[in-house]
Amino acid sequence: MAQAISVEVDRFELQAGEGDDPFLFDSTASIGSDSVAAVFKAEGGHEDSRLDVQEVESKAMIAFMPTDGTTLMAGVRHDFRRGSDLTFATLAIEQSLGSLLEGEHYLFLSEDGDVTGAAQVLAGLPVMPSLTLEPRFVVSWSAQEIAEEDTGSGVTDVELSVRLRQAIGPIFNVYVGAMHERLVGNTRDIARANGDRANVTRALVGAGLSF
């Protein structure tokens, strides 16, 4: 069975606007066949625009592709962060929703027994042969209140963003865009009680690559 290796840095991004000006990255590497593969994901960054890494969320998973457009994954997530690190069991599904739309949902069980999740829908709308508009909607949730994380139960936050991505050759791309992130429900109430912002809007600029 033929094995293939792929690497993608979807976002290497600087944000500017309300609150801090974060730097973040989001990357995926995989090795395997059309039916089963090992997948490694890493995302993280810094709360301000310095290009160093303050926190990293890493995942190592086995991916199964039972049908075209559907990927099921299971594995482990480990967060490297200030204070104590945290490890999770992870289940996920990624689904192509036609040629222009894809969705995913991740379910996490932490070493402390907390259940959380995050879902995302991403569209890729061609504007020109090398120019793509990418609206993205993300929602996160928690099955319980997690006091040490300042997280309430229910839906915790939502994010809406859009990126206009220009391909530069077969591997590299650059983009600009904007995002709005908002805490909701009990998590918003906790943030306000702590004197923290409950929503931010930022401009963003970044680059990506894949091979």
pLDDT of residue 54: 77
- Break the chain into its structural domains and give their ranges: 4-210
Distance CA 180, CA 176 (A): 14
- Under 8 Å between Cβ of 202 and 23: no
φ, ψ for residue 3 (rounded to 5)?
A: -110, 140
Q: Given 2.40.160.40, 3.40.50.2300, 2.40.50.1070, 3.90.79.10, which CATH number is that of 4-210? A: 2.40.160.40
Q: What is the pLDDT of residues 121-173, one digit of tens each?
A: 999 999 999 999 999 999 999 999 999 999 999 999 999 999 999 999 999 99
Average pLDDT over residues 22-38: 94
Q: What is the pLDDT of residues 170-209, one digit of tens each?
A: 999 999 999 999 999 999 999 999 999 899 999 999 999 9
Query: pTM of the entire structure?
Result: 0.93
- Percent of the chain beyond pLDDT 70? 96
Q: What is the pLDDT of residues 37-88, one digit of tens each?
A: 999 999 998 876 555 567 899 999 999 999 989 999 999 999 998 888 999 9
Nearest to 104 by CA among 91, 89, 87: 91
